[in-house]
Amino acid sequence: MPELPEVESIRLTLAKNTLGKKILDAEVFWPPAAVSLPGMEFGELVKDRTIDFINRRGKYLLINLSGDITLIVHFRMTGRLIYYLGKQPVDKHTHVVLHLDEGELHYSDIRKFGRMQLVPTKKASEISFLAKLGPEPLDEAFAFDKLGQQLAGKKCTIKAALLDQRVIAGLGNIYADEALFRAGIYPGRKTDSLKVSEIILLCNSIQDVLNEGIKAKGTSFRDYRDAEGNKGMFQEKLMVYGRAGQECKGCGGILAKEKIAGRTTVYCPNCQK
């Protein structure tokens, strides 16, 4: 599932290729993937609009079109948005194609959980799933005291808190496990047991791991590709995620696996307390 660094990599590569381009028309092959405004057809609504700028909020991509319409993309498990300069054949997983004045934008999704949704730009921040999102961990204003406020009074495990998009936006299983390893915190710790010194370490670890993930253009285990169709490279830098039973790169001990917050969680029993 694309997390913050993957969606940010999609944003950057998409902006590089499509900013200022005009949508000539849209083909929708699987209508549930393309959500329009009530009573309006998706293709009609995007037609003749220009891609003005592209933002990201948590794991959501927000493509601002001319005329105050925003296309929100939620990739979920296997959604992909890829730009092709030339004509590209569709396959059975292609759900939407936007024909631009130069090139094509293909939205595909094997598992079909992802969505593209059109909303009025002025109301985008009020859309329920965006309004509920917690702070952006890479915002300049985000620091340990903000993270501390967000975690205050939480009795769940710290892993569950980090996965909760209302607490902090953009983390999923990969970067939550990596950040907790770097901070030396056992993912099953109760959130309200964390000391201030640990919250400071955790905040720094979250920001470092996300920035490094963006720099490596994301993590590609199975499906993830950026908007140019390229894989990320952060999977080569992972310390714990996907490495259960292997040696800890920190202490040489064996990494453990446990179900925490309903998700497979990998950690080092020596390095994480």
Which region, judged by CB under 5 A, interacts with Zn ion, from 78-86, 108-116, 205-213, 242-250? 242-250
2 is catalytic: yes
Which region, judged by CB under 5 A, interacts with Zn ion, from 24-32, 67-75, 188-196, 247-255? 247-255
Q: 211 or 270, CB closer to Zn ion?
A: 270
Q: 107 or 267, CB closer to Zn ion?
A: 267
Smallest gap from Cβ 122 to Zn ion, in A, equals 50
Smallest gap from Cβ 266 to Zn ion, in A, equals 11
258 is catalytic: no
Q: x/- binding map, residues 10-29, to Zn ion, per CB under 5 A?
A: --------------------
DSSP assignment of the chain: ---HHHHHHHHHHHHHHHTT-BEEEEEESSGGGEE-STTS-HHHHHTT-BEEEEEEETTEEEEEETTTEEEEEE-TTTEEEEEESS-----TTEEEEEEESSSEEEEEESS---EEEEEEGGGGGGSHHHHT----TTSTT--HHHHHHHHTT--SBHHHHHH-TTTSSS--HHHHHHHHHHHT--TTSBGGG--HHHHHHHHHHHHHHHHHHHHTT---SSS---TTS---SGGGG-SSTT-TTSBPTTTS-BPEEEEETTEEEEE-TTT--
- Residue selected from 48, 155, 251, 257 as contacting Zn ion according to rule CB under 5 A: 251
Q: Is 268 in the site for Zn ion (CB under 5 A)?
A: yes
- Residue selected from 250, 254, 258, 263 as contacting Zn ion according to rule CB under 5 A: 250
Which of 2, 5, 137, 187 does the annotation list as catalytic?
2
The set of catalytic residues is 2-3, 59, 263
Binding region for Zn ion (CB under 5 A):
248, 250-251, 253, 268, 270-271
